[in-house]
Structure 1
Amino acid sequence: MLEVIVLAAGRGSRMKSELPKVLHPIGGQPMVASVLDTARQLGAERLHVVVGHGASQVSDAVAAPDVEIYVQAEQLGTGHAALQAAPSCHADSTVLILFGDVPLLSAGVLADVVSAAETQPTLLAATLEDPTGYGRVIRGADGSFARVVEQKDGLPHELEVTEVNTGVLAARGSELVAWLGQVTNDNAQGEFYLPDVLSLALRDGKKVSVVVTDKSNEISGVNDRVQLEALERAHQRQKADELMAAGVHVMDASRLDIRGSLACGTDVVLDANVLIEGDVRLGNQVVIEANCVLKDCAIGDGTVVRAFTHIEGATVAAHCQVGPYARLRPGADLGDGAKVGNFVEVKNSVFGAGAKANHLAYVGDATVGAGSNIGAGTITCNYDGANKHRTELGDNVFVGSNSTLVAPLTVENDGFVAAGSTVTSKVGESQLAVGRAKQRNIDGWKRPEKPKQ
């Protein structure tokens, strides 16, 4: 059985934030949540999270049926942190230790560590051009693992080594607990170092396996805002590369942000500065123009979402046109071929096939039948100060410009609302509704004048 311990107790003082470091987001979710997701991909049956600074916040963020929480009251080092959870692991489990502020490690790399740890304790190492700040992996004359030397404890020739300790290791549960209990804080920092368990393993006659990765972005941790931004960009570049490999035309990979999940059909085009949040699904030949925000929505085949459009919690069918500068709010549901144009806001409303509101309108809590047209400047007055009410427009209804539809209201099939009308009562099939004051033309009136200086 695989169990994973995630160390998430650090304060992260260099972040200069009240938010615990592991709760800062990468790709739209807390770093520690990404680490737990990766552990689940590996098939871990039990997840142990060690919290410290901001314990209640972190505990709430990671709460799940497969997660157990342990509190490290004093931050005395990574070895001490691991010791809070290790005794709860099964003796015959393979126990993998991860860090809540190293969010990009992939399940593929970690699977090699877990596999090797089935027979002997295993360390994940990496080769870096600039190893400054990392503990160095020191090998013996025969190339086997000898020990890990921390930056502040290393001799000059040891600090020239470019193979570094990532901190990630795995071992049998019973052995890990025994070694953690023997780790001392006899070092420059006065801390209990997790890698010291490997030297203890060697002392007990065990061989230590070293898995080396060349994916430097994956092993990088976050200690400040600069590193957070760098990992965010690395994560987004990886997402963009995956999309392009799957056939999506990403116009500018450096200006695409995916803060959730994105599923795309064939020949999808994503222009610059597109932001994806939550669960977004795009059909075949969908075009998303520049500076759009899509959140928890589904867009049908052949639809074009024009620039500066925001869509959230909406469903858009095939061959629609949305935007530019449109806003679809939760509950918006556009049928095939519908059009929602510039500066139109739609909320909790259904548009039938071919229905359109091309510009400058608010449609809320409404049903707009197939083929209907809503003119510029039209609003549905859906809120009376206490309750929301619906507007029901049948098929082929025409609403003239600058009309006010006061809900609850029904306009039946082929109804026609004259421009500038305020409509408060039902309009029957094929009727014309005119709800405006009669025009008067006044002769001899005096135009207002500005006061003379």
Structure 2
Amino acid sequence: MKSQTPKPLHRVLGRPMVVHVIRAAAQSGCSRAVVVEKDGAISSVLGESVDGFPVSYAAQDVPLGTGDAVRCTLPQLRSDDVVVILNADLPCITAEAIRRLMQAHIPESLVVATSRCDEPGSYGRIVRADGGVVAIVEAKDATEEQLAIQEVNQGLYVVGGDVLAELIPQLGNSNAQGEFYLTDLVHLLAQSGRPADGIEFDNSGELMGVNDRVQLAEADASLRGRVLKHHMEQGVTIEDPARTVVEDSVTIGADTVLEVDVTLRGTTRIGSGCHIGQGSILTNAVVGDNVTVLPYSIMDDAVVEDGARVGPFARLRPGAHLCAESRVGNFVELKKTRLGVGSKANHLSYLGDAEIGEGVNVGAGTITCNYDGTHKYKTVMEDGVFIGSDTQIVAPVTVGKGAYVGAGSTVTEDVPAGALAISRTPQVNKEGWVERKSGSSGEKES
């Protein structure tokens, strides 16, 4: 990967690769995961669980091969465990593939996932005899005859905890790499009359490994396509799947339309009948039914209720909450603000730390001045308030029910219900001022 980041932590569709592997294991029916790591690099990111699935860790301080990695996990395994061994760089692995392997489990022996490749390259070769798998030979240790084998090891195994406890200590490192190969278990089993079984998978991409940035991009594209296909099959229109990103934790209701260049991340939930405009990016957003998001709007940890309208070029920061049928227009930014039912802020405004009631109109250029350099303060606009354009509201301020604030005002005190607040300087017209300034009979200098 040519990176200081451990390979399992490189992201595919918004999540570290290893998270995709753990989630597939959880969905397949596994009870827990043991992750082999160095220097706490993975545990510091994932913690003790992934989506509630328990994860523990085994330290491999010096990388001495896959067999040594499994040896590090033995203290956490029981003899009656059925152990699924997965590479952490298989982000496209599915629960179905893991279940298929588990169903083929052979007591006292091992099952390995294989596939066929026209150009096997660096993959370990599967050597069969009498129908069973008797050896897996790494490419660097293979003979010319073995290199011609097209069935290859995909790095997934199912084996009993008792078999691992018996044979892992017997692994040697007399090979070109000087490492302890997990694949040598197959040879040890064959020697004891317990040949392994190989379950062949088609080369469809679900067992795609990632070893460089090119394969990382290919895995991302494969997983993204799988997610988009699922949503389209559930009734979502995606105008250009090649230019749309939807992470696998996102939910979308039927009859919603995603225009080109839309990105939906994290735990975003979108209801039915919505329209998400081009270039919009939603992260951990909750969007109700029949919501329109116009192009190039950004939402982070925001809530938008049924029938609301957002954008274009709007930004909803964490804590923004648009109630039903409310409107936020172009170049409007909300942060920790609740906009009541049917309220509108259609143009060029910043509303931060505010509680805005129902039927409120916020004029263009309105700013809630919520920060004094040390503390944040709250603005309250009660139901039916009308805020004129180019108004600054210096919090903490409450504008009472049905009150009006004149355009161009700076509000520093509470406004009573039903009152009109005006704070701008009275207009003065100075007749003849231009002529006197120019020092002429009214003609301006060229």
TM-score by length of 2: 0.93
Give the partner amino acid of 1:155. T
Provide the C-alpha distance between the structure 2 equivalents of 1:429 and 1:263, rounded to a whole number of angstroms.
Answer: 42
2:183 matches 1:199:
no
Shift of 1:69: 2.0
- 2:349 equivalent in structure 1: 361
Given that 1:260 and 1:276 are in contact with CA atoms closer than 8 Å, whether structure 2 keeps it comes out as no
Number of equivalenced pairs: 433
Paired residue secondary structure (1:169): strand
One of 186, 203, 209 as aligned partner of 2:174 = 186
Further displaced range: 143-152 or 307-316: 143-152
2:305 matches 1:321:
no
Q: CA 1:403 to 1:62, structure 2 compared with 1: closer, same or farther past 3 Å? A: closer
Q: CA 1:109 to 1:152, structure 2 compared with 1: closer, same or farther past 3 Å? A: same
- 1:209 equivalent in structure 2: 197
Shift of 1:215: 4.2
One of 270, 277, 283 as aligned partner of 1:295 = 283
Q: CA 1:215 to 1:435, structure 2 compared with 1: closer, same or farther past 3 Å? A: farther
Provide the C-alpha distance between the structure 2 equivalents of 1:122 and 1:93, rounded to a whole number of angstroms.
Answer: 15
Provide the C-alpha distance between the structure 2 equivalents of 1:88 and 1:318, rounded to a whole number of angstroms.
Answer: 49
One of 221, 240, 251 as aligned partner of 1:252 = 240
TM-score by length of 1: 0.91
Alignment of 1:144-183 (within 5 A): 144-183=132-171
Q: CA 1:260 to 1:363, structure 2 compared with 1: closer, same or farther past 3 Å? A: farther
Shift of 1:118: 4.5
Give the partner amino acid of 2:187. S
Provide the C-alpha distance between the structure 2 equivalents of 1:118 and 1:151, rounded to a whole number of angstroms.
Answer: 27
1:182-220 Cα distance to aligned partner (Å, 9 max, x none): 222222222221111011111111131211111442222
One of 209, 213, 216 as aligned partner of 1:225 = 213
Give the partner amino acid of 1:205. G
Paired-residue identity, %:
39
2:339 matches 1:345:
no
2:127 matches 1:138:
yes
- 1:62 equivalent in structure 2: 46
CA RMSD of aligned residues (A): 1.9
Shift of 1:137: 1.1
1:362-399 Cα distance to aligned partner (Å, 9 max, x none): 11111222111111111111112222111111222111
Paired residue secondary structure (1:40): helix
Shift of 1:260: 5.4
Give the partner amino acid of 2:142. G
- 1:419 equivalent in structure 2: 407
Give the partner amino acid of 1:317. E
Provide the C-alpha distance between the structure 1 equivalents of 2:351 and 2:189, rounded to a whole number of angstroms.
Answer: 69
Provide the C-alpha distance between the structure 2 equivalents of 1:362 and 1:260, rounded to a whole number of angstroms.
Answer: 33
Paired residue secondary structure (1:231): helix
- 1:47 equivalent in structure 2: 33
- 2:5 equivalent in structure 1: 19
Paired residue secondary structure (1:35): helix
Paired residue secondary structure (2:90): coil
Given that 1:28 and 1:258 are in contact with CA atoms closer than 8 Å, whether structure 2 keeps it comes out as no
Provide the C-alpha distance between the structure 2 equivalents of 1:337 and 1:217, rounded to a whole number of angstroms.
Answer: 44
Q: Which runs of 5+ in 1 are unaligned?
A: 1-14
1:202-239 Cα distance to aligned partner (Å, 9 max, x none): 11111312111114422222222111111111111111
Given that 1:94 and 1:118 are in contact with CA atoms closer than 8 Å, whether structure 2 keeps it comes out as no
- 1:8 equivalent in structure 2: none
Provide the C-alpha distance between the structure 1 equivalents of 2:380 and 2:153, rounded to a whole number of angstroms.
Answer: 65
